[in-house]
């Protein structure tokens, strides 16, 4: 399954709104994790082996999205 850029952007924006933080800085040079984004990514990495510990459905969706992108 492929995820189009517009759909990906929309999902990330929804996650950012739910969490109340900006996860990525976006510019014509590319996209980079913010310090908050790095924290979320660490949380995802730590909890990926313990899915029951995830608190936000959006974090789970974000993890699933990253798995789809790497497949």
Q: Can you give the CATH number for the domain in which 30 is found?
A: 1.10.10
> Is pLDDT above 70 for 38?
yes
Averaged confidence pLDDT in the chain: 75
Structural domain count of the chain: 1
Question: CA–CA separation, 28 vs 15, rounded Å?
Answer: 22
pTM across the whole model = 0.57
- Long-range pairs for 31-40 at CB < 8 Å and ≥24 separation? none
Q: What pLDDT does 39 receive?
A: 80
Mean pLDDT across the stretch 33-58? 72
Q: What pLDDT does 20 receive?
A: 81
Q: What pLDDT does 2 receive?
A: 63
In which domain, by residue range, is 39 found? 5-70
Beta carbons within 8 Å of 5's beta carbon, 6+ residues apart: none
pLDDT band at 59 (very low <50, low <70, confident <90, very high): low
């Amino acid at each position: 399954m492929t995820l189009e850029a517009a759909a990906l952007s929309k999902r990330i924006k929804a996650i950012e709104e739910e969490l109340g933080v900006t996860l990525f800085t976006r510019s014509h040079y590319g996209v980079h994790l913010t310090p908050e984004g790095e924290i979320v990514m660490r949380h995802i990495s730590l909890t990926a082996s313990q899915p029951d510990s995830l608190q936000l459905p959006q974090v789970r969706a974000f993890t699933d999205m990253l798995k789809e992108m790497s497949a």
